[in-house]
Amino acid sequence: MRITIAPGVELTEDELRQAPPFMDWAKHVGRQWRGTITVNYAERWEGQVVSLQVVIVADDHPRPAIAVLRSPTIDVLTTITNGSRWRRKKYCVFVEQYRPAAGCVVVSNPAGVCRWGEDPIDAIRREIWEDLDLHHLDFARFDPDYRIVGLTREPVVASPRVTSERSQLFRLTIEVRGRAFPRFLHLLEDRRTGVVVGGEQLRLRVVPIDEARIFIEAQPVLDAKALLSLDRARL
């Protein structure tokens, strides 16, 4: 494998080889792969390289391919329930965010990067707690129970022609009982979350579970992972 780093990209070859997106891609193409990879852009988050824009030219297929190598991600269908046996109430929590590539606001499941070597469950506790702002809500005071189940046996690739990103789909169910349930739900509705400076700016959308599919399908851009997770969870 021959590596070229374009002028102006603040990245050494050693840093590239240790970057999670590159290691994940290299693992899948295998040691037998021969060709040239040129790095045109590197995105960092908290000091770690999380995304690379590259041009890939394989020796046995010389047509250049422009691609984005991304760290593995977790995508989490998040549901809130009151746990009642007779008057059970369930809601889905989606995030609304402007996506430059789509050119508009996109509604999707809460999601985030799974760091290299990180257990996906730990990634969920870190990323989804951040997206829903559960730390600032003092989540523990609602005495919740929560459970996490996988929705796909293997990670999914939304657009393999363009990006290497592999996303594992999960369902997170948060159960808040009694009078705490409506208070918790109210705190989530239309809440603005995310890192304001240099990061994400999110708006939470809380939808009754039986209206979730209609809500997602009514968006100008349909998020494939949200639809797939609703199918797999049979909602």
Q: Residue 122 CB: number of other CB atoms within 10 A?
A: 12
More confident residue, 46 or 197: 46
9 in helix, strand or coil? coil
Digit-coded pLDDT (tens) for 54-111: 999 999 988 999 999 998 899 999 999 998 777 889 999 999 999 888 889 999 999 9
Distance CA 176, CA 164 (A): 37
Digit-coded pLDDT (tens) for 18-66: 999 999 899 889 989 999 999 999 998 878 898 999 999 999 988 999 9
Q: Please state the pTM of the whole predicted model.
A: 0.87
Distance CA 95, CA 190 (A): 9
The residues, ordered by sequence, that sit 6+ positions from 156 with a Cβ below 8 Å of its Cβ are 166, 167, 168, 169, 225, 228
Identify the structural domains of the chain with CATH numbers, from first to last.
2-70 (no CATH), 73-232 (3.90.79.10)
Digit-coded pLDDT (tens) for 116-166: 788 999 999 988 888 998 888 888 888 889 999 999 888 888 787 888 888
Distances (CA, A) of 67 to 30, 53, 148, 161: 17, 6, 32, 7
The residues, ordered by sequence, that sit 6+ positions from 88 with a Cβ below 8 Å of its Cβ are 81, 82
pLDDT for 85 equals: 75
pLDDT for 197 equals: 45
pLDDT for 69 equals: 94
Residue 195 has pLDDT above 70, yes or no: no
Contact at 8 Å (CB) between 174 and 180? no
Residue 198 has pLDDT above 60, yes or no: no
Contact at 8 Å (CB) between 167 and 76? no
User: Tokens 């060709």 — which residue?
Assistant: 35
